[in-house]
Structure 1
Amino acid sequence: MPQIAQLTADNWYLASQLFWLLVVFAGIYVVIGRGMLPKIEATVDARDRKVADDLAAAKAAHAAADKLEESYRQQGEASRAAAQKAVAEARDKAAKDAEKRLARIDAELAAKLSAAEADIAAARSSAMAEIESVAAEAAGELVAKLSGVKVAAADAKAAVKAVLHG
C-alpha cells in the first residue's frame, strides 16, 4: 500500500503530518477551549443559578403559603368558636326568655284555674243548696203522700242534709 510505504520510506512526511495534526488540534483547543467553553460554562452556571434561585423562591413561596394556610385555619377556628359561643348565648337567652314566658303563662293559667275552681265551687255550693231544698221539698211531699203525716220543712232539710253529707 502506498500510504504505508510513504510512512516507512520517508520520515519527513510523517513529521509534517504530525506537525499539522498538532497545529489543527491546538487551533481546535484554542477555539473551543478558550473561546466557546467559557461561554458554555457561563451559560450552564447562569442556568444553575436560575434553577437554584427558582427553587429557593419556590421554597419561600411554599413556606409563605403554609403560614397563610395556618393563619386562615386559625381564623376559621376562631370564627367557628365565636359562632358556637354566639349560638350558645342565643340558645341560653332563648331558654331564659321561654322560661320567663312559661312562668308568666303558668301564673296566668294558675290564676284562671283558681278563678275557675272558685266559680265551680260557688256553682257546686249553689247547686247543692238548690238540690237540698228541692230534695227537702220532695222528701216532705213523699212522706206526706205515703204516710199522710206532714213533715216540717226544717226537719226535712235536716234529714236531707244528714243523708247528703253523711
Structure 2
Amino acid sequence: MATTTETTESTGHEEGGKFPPLDTTTFPSQLFWLVIFFALLYLLLSRLVLPRFGKILGARKGQIDGDIARAQALKDETEAALKSYEKALADARNNANDIAKKTRDDVTAEVTAEQHKLDASLATKIKTAEDKIAKAKAKAMDAVNDIAADSAADIVSSLTGGKVLKTAAAKAVTAAAKG
C-alpha cells in the first residue's frame, strides 16, 4: 500500500503573526519606500520615457500631416488635370464640329458651283441641240413642202392632165399649211 507523507512549508512567520504588508507597525516604512519608488518612477517616466513618446508621437503626427497635405495636393492636381482634360476635350469637340461644319460648307459650295457649271453647260448643250433640232425641223419642213408641192403638182397633173408649175404648187401648199 502506498504511504503518504505530509510536508508543511514554512511561511517565515509564526502562527498567529500578521502578514507583513498588512502589519500596521510597518506602515511608515512602507509609505516611505512607496513615495521614493513613485518619485523615482515619476522622474524616470518624465525625463526619459515621456519625451521619447512625445517625439515619436510628434514625428508620427508630422508624417501623417505631411501625408495628408501631399494627398490633398495630389487630389487638387488630379482635379486640375481632370478639369484641363475636360476643357481640352470640349475644345476638341467644338473644334471638330467647326471643322466638320466648315468642310460641309466648303463641299456644299463646291457642289453648288459644280452644279451651276453643269447647269450652264447643259443649258448651252440644250440650246445647241434645240438649234440643231430647229434647223433640222426647218430643213425637214422645207423638204416636206417640196415633197408636198411635187406631190400636189403630180396629183393635179394626173387629175387635170395639164402641167402645173412647181412654184404655183409650192404657194398653194404653203397657203394651205398656214391656214
Name the TM-score, length of structure 1 as normaliser.
0.79
Among 66, 74, 82, which residue is 1:69 paired with? 82
Shift of 1:28: 3.2
The more displaced of 6-15 and 25-34 is 6-15
The more displaced of 79-88 and 3-12 is 3-12
Q: Whole-Å Cα distance in 2 between the matches of residues 49 and 70 of structure 1?
A: 31
* Cα distance per residue 1:75-117 (max 9 Å; x no partner): 3333333333333333323222222222222222211111111
- Asked whether 1:11 is paired with 2:24, we answer yes
Among 24, 34, 40, which residue is 2:47 paired with? 34
The DSSP-based 3-state class of the residue aligned with 1:111 is helix
Shift of 1:129: 0.7
Distance 1:58 1:94, change over 3 A: same
The more displaced of 128-137 and 102-111 is 102-111
The DSSP-based 3-state class of the residue aligned with 2:18 is helix
CA RMSD of aligned residues (A): 2.9
Distance 1:91 1:145, change over 3 A: same
- Asked whether 1:157 is paired with 2:170, we answer yes
- Asked whether 1:49 is paired with 2:51, we answer no
Instruction: State how 1:96-115 maps to structure 2 within 5 Å.
Output: 96-115=109-128
Shift of 1:44: 1.2
Tell me the equivalent position of 2:9. Answer: none
* Cα distance per residue 1:39-87 (max 9 Å; x no partner): 1122112111211121122212222222232233333333333333333
The more displaced of 35-44 and 14-23 is 14-23
The DSSP-based 3-state class of the residue aligned with 1:92 is helix
Tell me the equivalent position of 2:157. Answer: 144
Q: Whole-Å Cα distance in 2 between the matches of residues 111 and 128 of structure 1?
A: 25
Tell me the equivalent position of 1:124. Answer: 137
Q: Give the paired residue count.
A: 166
Among 28, 33, 42, which residue is 1:20 paired with? 33
Considering fraction of residues, name the structure with more helix.
Answer: 1
The more displaced of 67-76 and 101-110 is 67-76
Name the TM-score, length of structure 2 as normaliser.
0.74
Q: Whole-Å Cα distance in 2 between the matches of residues 9 and 82 of structure 1?
A: 95
Q: Whole-Å Cα distance in 2 between the matches of residues 27 and 8 of structure 1?
A: 21
